[in-house]
Amino acid sequence: MKPCEIKKDIYWVGAVDWNVRNFHGHTYSTQRGTTYNAYLIVDEKITLVDTVYGPFSNEMIARIREIVSPEKIDYIIVNHVETDHSGALPDIVKACKKAKLYGTTKCREGLYKHYYGEWHFQPVKTGDTLKLGKRTLSFLEAPMIHWPDSMFTYCPEEELLLPNDAFGQHYATSERFDDEVGQAELMDEAAKYYGNILWPLSSLILKKIEEVQNSKLSIRMIAPSHGIIWRKDPAKILNSYVSWAKNETKPKVVVAYETMWGATQTMARMIVDGITDTGTSVKLFDLAQSDRTEVIKEMLDAKGFIIGSSTHNNGMLVAVAGFLDFLKGLKPKNRIGAAFGSYGWAGGAIKSIEGTLKEAGVEIIQPGLGIQYVPDDVELKKCYEYGVNFAKQIGKE
Ligand code: FEO
């Protein structure tokens, strides 16, 4: 695949990872793969912005070579230390010994602790600029979006924002731009990325977007380090980030459960029937069978979470426990919840679920619904009404 010229003399020289299916360990399932985006700016000073994951280093260098000899690179901007963007640095630094690296002080510390190389590194902070010739690069620190070292780079002459991970998607495609792919698929991946990685950082993200808006930067293109480039409608992703960061929700419920012998599943289906009959949008997931990354994406804009589990060892089943632990780390806000499940004798799952939902910041709005062993017709009706009552408290937009 050839480099892609995204603006005059600015090239995508990254790599498409079609086959990766797990990211950040197994915390994120990348069912559509991903890309590692690196950008080469050809000006009086030749500048590489970010690199790629180490195993794709040769691919990136070959792409650069189609434009200029890598030895000619003057500057390398390191917006982020994480290895999916810095893994190719040792190779590219070897190929262009004169290149000077630019990044935050935390970036320098982080790079050293990854690669132990003594590189020519210039720390930069918000407001610092670097003249390339016709173009200038301006730096904006973005700590904890999503690592302490994270930084955005902006080119005013091109009205181009290079924000690294922010506004990205784990989405492998032969296309490079937002107007070349299906919008539903694109926004699905952008929401999945926000929900599973950035959600807990929402207050920082909101402040950073306000900072960018207050500084009146004109942005015509956003070129993140994963997925497609926003050139047709960068406002679309900016507005979506504002909405997600504000924890805005829809009248929608996610019902997620795990079952031992089917009784909790039967309850879940009746609860969903009740919610559905009120006209409220609902999604149902068996957590033992579902892709957690997808469930979290559905929760990102859902007002209500109803979580169910059979009781096991006086607590909840392990898939539910693992899921809620992950959800707790995402720190959702402005959500309501409830718990249900079948039990044999002592019970305990509902109390455990409610406790963890509260720790996650979810408001429990109705008493848990526990049913002994297998629900009879009267109890099934209770499940249905449980769903109806919950949905009534969601309200309508
Ligand atoms: Fe924070 Fe794509 O790495």
Q: How far is the CA of 301 from the centre of ligand 1 (A)?
A: 23
Nearest atom (ligand 1) to Cα of 225: 2
Which pTM value belongs to this model?
A: 0.96
In the annotation, is 226 catalytic? yes
Asked whether the predicted pLDDT for residue 276 surpasses 60, the reply is yes
Nearest CA residue ID for atom 2, ligand 1: 165
Q: How many angstroms separate the first and last alpha carbons of the chain?
A: 46
Nearest CA residue ID for atom 1, ligand 1: 82
**In this prediction, what percent of the chain has a pLDDT beyond 70?**
99
Q: How far is the CA of 197 from the centre of ligand 1 (A)?
A: 9
Asked whether the predicted pLDDT for residue 240 surpasses 60, the reply is yes
We find that the CATH architecture of domain 4-245 is 4-Layer Sandwich (3.60)
For the chain, where do the domains classified as CATH 3.40.50.360 start and end?
253-396
**Number of residues assigned to the chain:** 397
Is 53 within 8 Å of 83 (Cβ atoms)? yes
Q: How far is the CA of 175 from the centre of ligand 1 (A)?
A: 21
In the annotation, is 84 catalytic? yes
Is 337 within 8 Å of 305 (Cβ atoms)? yes
Beta pairing class for 221-222 and 34-36: unpaired
HEC per residue, the chain: CCCEEEECCEEECCEEECCCCEECCCCEECCCCEEECCEEECCCCCEEECCCCHHHHHHHHHHHHCCCCHHHCCEEECCCCCHHHHCCHHHHHHHCCCCEEEECHHHHHHHHHHHCCCCCEEECCCCCEEECCCCEEEEEECCCCCCCCCEEEEECCCCEEECCCCCCCCCCCCCCEHHHCCHHHHHHHHHHHHHHHHHHHHHHHHHHHHHHHHCCCCCCEECCCCCCEECCCHHHHHHHHHHHHCCCCEEEEEEEEECCCCHHHHHHHHHHHHHHHCCCEEEEEECCCCCHHHHHHHHCCEEEEEEEECCECCECCHHHHHHHHHHHHHCCCCCEEEEEEEECCCCCHHHHHHHHHHHCCCEECCCCEEEECCCCHHHHHHHHHHHHHHHHHHCCC
Q: Residue for token digits 């030895």?
A: 71
Distance between CA atoms of residues 255 and 339, nearest Å? 9
CA–CA distances in Å: residue 318 to residues 17, 24, 60, 148: 32, 21, 42, 32
**In this prediction, what percent of the chain has a pLDDT beyond 90?**
96
Pocket of ligand 1 (CB under 6 A): 80, 82, 84-85, 146-147, 165, 225-226
Write down the pLDDT at residue 397.
46
CA–CA distances in Å: residue 223 to residues 164, 299, 354: 8, 27, 41
Write down the pLDDT at residue 396.
53
Nearest atom (ligand 1) to Cα of 197: 1
Beta pairing class for 136-141 and 151-155: antiparallel
Mean pLDDT, residues 357-365: 98
Mind listing the pLDDT tens digit for each residue in 31-78? Answer: 999 999 999 999 999 999 999 999 999 999 999 999 999 999 999 999
Q: How far is the CA of 212 from the centre of ligand 1 (A)?
A: 21
Distance between CA atoms of residues 332 and 372, nearest Å? 31
Write down the pLDDT at residue 97.
87
In the annotation, is 82 catalytic? yes
Q: What is the dihedral of CA 26, 28, 34, 35, to 10 degrees?
A: -90
- Residue 146: asked if its preceding bond is cis (omega within 30°), the reply is yes
For the chain, where do the domains classified as CATH 3.60.15.10 start and end?
4-245
Structure tokens at 142: 């973005």
Q: How far is the CA of 170 from the centre of ligand 1 (A)?
A: 10
Mind listing the pLDDT tens digit for each residue in 101-130? Answer: 999 999 999 999 999 988 999 999 999 999
In the annotation, is 80 catalytic? yes
Mind listing the pLDDT tens digit for each residue in 291-322? Answer: 999 999 999 999 999 999 999 999 999 999 99
Write down the pLDDT at residue 135.
98
In the annotation, is 376 catalytic? no
Fold observed for domain 253-396: Rossmann fold (3.40.50)
